Amino acid sequence: MNIGPFLVENGDIAAPASAEAIANLKAAYPQLPREYVSLLQVADGFSGFLGESRAFLSFLLSESIGNANRGYEVESFLPGAILLATNGAGAGFFFTNSPELPWMRAPLIGMDELESQITSPALEAMIKEYVDTLDDYEE
């Protein structure tokens, strides 16, 4: 995975996740996508503004994904989805069980597939669409 599109300005980038942390996460979430595992091998979580945009993104640390998913009751509202990141303003970024559009951004409160704002076939594409959406809003 090319981490370039995810580099954050004035942000915090964690060290790569350990093999044990990745194995534990894959055991808890067998549907975890390869592209996300590749990201964990570069950085076990990061948060900050993406590039020069105003798009804030915070990828959860591998050890906090389980607690965040339980706390937001993701399985109750989006069965089969995994919360992996937030925008710091009430939206979550999820990997879902949809074969066509497995990546989704949806509100953390009132979580529902029908309320999803962005769906995408790939992680990088979802984040690019998120950044583009904010750039369009600023114009």
Contact between 94 and 104 under an 8 Å Cβ cutoff? The reply is yes
pLDDT tens digits, one per residue of 115-139 = 667 678 888 888 888 888 775 444 4
d(CA 123, CA 132): 14
pLDDT band per the 50, 70, 90 thresholds, residue 24: very high
d(CA 98, CA 77): 15
Please indicate, yes or no, if residue 2 is contained in any of the structural domains.
Answer: no
pLDDT(70) > 90: yes
Average pLDDT, the chain: 83
Please indicate, yes or no, if residue 119 is contained in any of the structural domains.
Answer: yes
Please indicate, yes or no, if residue 3 is contained in any of the structural domains.
Answer: no
pLDDT band per the 50, 70, 90 thresholds, residue 73: very high
- pLDDT for residue 62: 94
Q: What is the pTM of this model?
A: 0.85
Please indicate, yes or no, if residue 83 is contained in any of the structural domains.
Answer: yes
Please indicate, yes or no, if residue 34 is contained in any of the structural domains.
Answer: yes
Please indicate, yes or no, if residue 25 is contained in any of the structural domains.
Answer: yes
- pLDDT for residue 4: 52
Q: In this structure, what CATH number is given to the domain that contains residue 129? A: 3.40.1580.10
Please indicate, yes or no, if residue 5 is contained in any of the structural domains.
Answer: no
The domain of 73 spans 10-138
Please indicate, yes or no, if residue 4 is contained in any of the structural domains.
Answer: no
57: amino acid identity, one letter? L
Average pLDDT of span 22-33: 92
Strand-pair category, 8-13 with 82-86? unpaired
| Residue predicted with more confidence, 108 or 1 | 108
**How many distinct structural domains can be found in the chain?**
1
pLDDT tens digits, one per residue of 46-55 = 888 876 777 8
d(CA 118, CA 68): 20
